[in-house]
Amino acid sequence: MFGCRSLLKQIRKRKRRNPPKFNSKNRKQTPNLAEQDFATEDGFRLKGSSPSQNYGVQPLGNLYFTSSPHNSRNTGLGNIQTLTDELVLDILGFLGGTHLGILSTVSKSFYVFCNHEPLWRNLVLEDCDDGFLFKGSWKSTFVAACNSDFDVSKVGSLGFKVKDFYSDYLFQSWLCANLEMKHEWLERDNIIRRKGISVDEFVTDFEMPNKAVLLEGCLDNWPAMKKWDRDYLVKVCGDARFAVGPIEMKLNDFFIYTDQAQEERPLYLFDPKFANKVRKLGQDYEVPVYFNEDLFSVLGNERPDYRWIIIGPAGSGSSFHIDPNSTSAWNAVVKGSKKWVLFPPDVAPPGVYPSADGAKKPVECVCKAGEVIFVPNGWWHLVINLEDSIAITQNFVSRRNLLNVLDFLKKPNASTLVSGTRDRVNLHDKFKKAIEVSFPGTIDELTKKAEKKRAELEKPSFWDSVKDSNSGGFKFSF
Amino acid sequence: MSQTVVLEQNAVETQSITLKFDGCSSDANPSPIVNPENQSITIKFDDQASNHHTIPVSIPNVDSETEAAVNEFLRKHGSSDEESVRTDAMNDLWSFIERQEIGTVVVLVKFASDVKNFELLEIFCQRVADVIAKKTVEEVREIFNIANDFTPEEEQAIRDEHRWAFED
């Protein structure tokens, strides 16, 4: 599918109306009408919670089965009907909320298009960088935020369904937001698990060979495991605002959103300064012993972002990526569970780059509360929260990947790739100097070891020298 | 250099495909664009250099003046890395587009999408949006040739649901 929409979002600059005033009354959104029980032959089901509004949109294929093939999508768009759904939405993406609202009354087709939730989500996230109060849908949220007099329960209450509207893109968009994940996908679990191993074993068996592993039993002493639930966190965090996508918002407001969100990729809270904002949070956990070597700490306050709290509803998560600065990471689930799919550094995951070799299988697992996963540096990974989840993650540099990190930071385009710090260009030099001060001779020692290892690998084996007639080895001569 | 390979499907019975090479080859990764109207699949070979368009592109379904204006933009925009030159090119194209019929701009949106030129796409989509934003409901229907398919009751209910938008 043509990916121009996300690109347009990056490059467009739009002027919006004045920031909205908030409606602080907590209005309940009437639940949407439940769809009929939907289960396909190959076992796809809708989620248990009532599905989001669909307005009667049908997939394009249905058009070919009707006796009178009329597509109200087209008649209602007029001269714009020649454009694809994505292009129509791209155009609508340039409009403010008021214009979208007015446009909704032009025709049934525009009504459906203008109700496309991602349009309203973008408007809310652009206008409300102070946070938002979610009102059941992004459209209602926006309307409530900008129009404190209007009775927001009216929005979406019509249950209006359009007949004869066929659109693959809009149907698929609704379907993806409401489809349940298949159990078989979740059950695939082939990661190596260990419990109670020593630090040396971890370093030798996993960190040095750069292998992923799931560790059990490391979080037993964390106060967070006993204390962290919604009420405790809301109390302890008070009015502190945390990073959620492009904005910052209070934790309680975030939970109000997660309670009601019905989308394919809900927002999640992901804040690198959580322990600065609320000291108690940092005190409720400690770094598992395996990951204690944290060399970026030599930079003190100038170190790049290194630890995050992640709070997200079912379905939230990140698509394939490699962690920044060539660091390794650990991710500990305090509450809930996460599905992980990982590919080693030399295997591009499907959909990331075109690759001749699509056959390699990834490492997969479900990481449950109390478990920690080690993500070795350079590994591609994708994570999805299977339920409301809370986790802590940290990125780190130990002696095992110190040289990799230094090499990465030295790269000519380091200033664009290096993340999590304001001082991108100098990070390499600063870090190297600081290591030499705190751990003199370490870099040299590691470099020597690495060179020795490389030389070992390059020496031809006995078989190689025998095979190669040029090296004066054995020859048949008749 | 942007080369085009055109695959044409001829007689239905044989369903064979003819490859026509429209220039010298390049080893950048092609991506096919399907055109169901003339049953052709076009693969454009795009390498880095082609983004600095020196070859004029041909734009279907627009007049020569419009095609010239778009090509002028591509030439100017691609000719320099300087912010001021690029902004000038955008402003020129923008002024030109503002004087064109909406039908032409819609054609240009499709064109920009087909050739995956994001700068052009942004300009043309923004223009269509600007045209819409200034109009009343009736005017939108008129300019895009849209029949109002709501019943009077439906229209009233939907207007009511969106009263907040009309109150501004």
Query: Which residues, including other chains, have CB under 8 Å from residue A160's CB and lie 6 or more apart?
Result: A55, A111, B154, B157, B158
Give pLDDT, residue B66. 94
Reading the block at residue A308, the tokens are 């995050």
Query: Which residues, including other chains, have CB under 8 Å from residue A294's CB and lie 6 or more apart?
Result: A287, A306, A394, A396, A397, A398
Coil, helix or strand at residue B36: coil
Give pLDDT, residue A199. 95
Chain B residues touching residue A71 (CB < 8 angstroms): none
Chain A residues touching residue B154 (CB < 8 angstroms): 160
Disruptive mutation site among A8, A89, A107 for chain B (greatest number of B CBs within 10 Å): A107
ipTM for the complex?
0.75
Q: What is the mean pLDDT of residues A223-242?
A: 96
Q: Which residue of A77, A90, A104 is in closest CB contact with B162?
A: A104
Please tell me which residue of chain A has the smallest CA distance to B136: A102
Reading the block at residue A424, the tokens are 């991108």
Chain segment B114-155, per-residue pLDDT in tens = 999 999 999 999 999 999 998 999 999 999 999 899 999 999
Reading the block at residue B137, the tokens are 């409901």
> Given the DSSP bridges, would you call strands A193-195 and A213-216 parallel, antiparallel or unpaired?
parallel
Distance from CA of A368 to the nearest CA of B (A): 42
Buried b / exposed e along A374-387 (16+ C-beta atoms within 10 A): bbbbbbbbbbbbbe
Please tell me which residue of chain B has the smallest CA distance to A8: B122
Chain B residues touching residue A84 (CB < 8 angstroms): 113
Coil, helix or strand at residue A121: helix
Confidence class for position B94, pLDDT limits 50, 70, 90: very high
H-type alpha helices, A156-285: 168-178, 183-187, 199-202, 223-227, 230-237, 251-260, 274-277, 279-283
Chain centroid, CA A123 distance in Å: 20
Q: Is the distance from CB of A392 to CB of A224 less than 8 angstroms?
A: yes
Chain segment A8-21, per-residue pLDDT in tens = 443 344 433 333 33
Ramachandran angles phi, psi of B13, nearest 5°: -65, -45
Q: Give the residues across from B5 on adjacent strands.
A: B21, B43
What is the C-alpha separation between B113 and B103, in angstroms, rounded? 16
Please tell me which residue of chain A has the smallest CA distance to B32: A2
CB contact under 8 Å between A105 and B106, yes or no, is no
CB contact under 8 Å between B122 and A157, yes or no, is no
Distance from CA of A245 to the nearest CA of B (A): 24
Distance from CA of B34 to the nearest CA of A (A): 13
Please tell me which residue of chain A has the smallest CA distance to B156: A105
Give pLDDT, residue A375. 97
Of the given ranges (A145-149, A287-291, A318-322, B152-156), which has the lowest mean pLDDT?
A: A145-149
What is the C-alpha separation between A357 and A354, in angstroms, rounded? 9
Chain B residues touching residue A4 (CB < 8 angstroms): 113, 116, 118, 121
What is the C-alpha separation between A464 and A25, in angstroms, rounded? 78
Q: Is the distance from CB of A179 to CB of A46 less than 8 angstroms?
A: yes
Through-space distance between the first and last CA atoms of chain A, rounded to whole angstroms = 63
Q: Which residue of B128, B145, B162 is in closest CB contact with A101?
A: B162
Q: Which residue of A12, A92, A150 is in closest CB contact with B163?
A: A150
Q: Which own/partner pairs from A247-256 qualify as long-range (CB within 8 Å, at least 24 positions apart)?
A: A247/A125, A247/A128, A247/A129, A247/A130, A247/A131, A247/A132, A248/A129, A248/A130, A248/A131, A249/A130, A249/A131, A249/A132, A250/A131, A251/A311, A253/A131, A253/A132, A253/A133, A253/A134, A254/A311, A255/A230, A256/A26, A256/A133, A256/A134
Over 80: is that where the pLDDT of A32 sits?
Answer: no
Q: Which residue type sits at B22?
A: D
> Given the DSSP bridges, would you call strands A328-335 and A389-396 parallel, antiparallel or unpaired?
antiparallel
Enter the pTM of the model. 0.78
What is the C-alpha separation between A58 and A166, in angstroms, rounded? 5
Helices (H) and strands (E) in chain B, counts: 7, 4
What is the C-alpha separation between B119 and B94, in angstroms, rounded? 12
Chain segment A407-432, per-residue pLDDT in tens = 888 876 655 555 666 666 678 888 99
Confidence class for position B30, pLDDT limits 50, 70, 90: very low
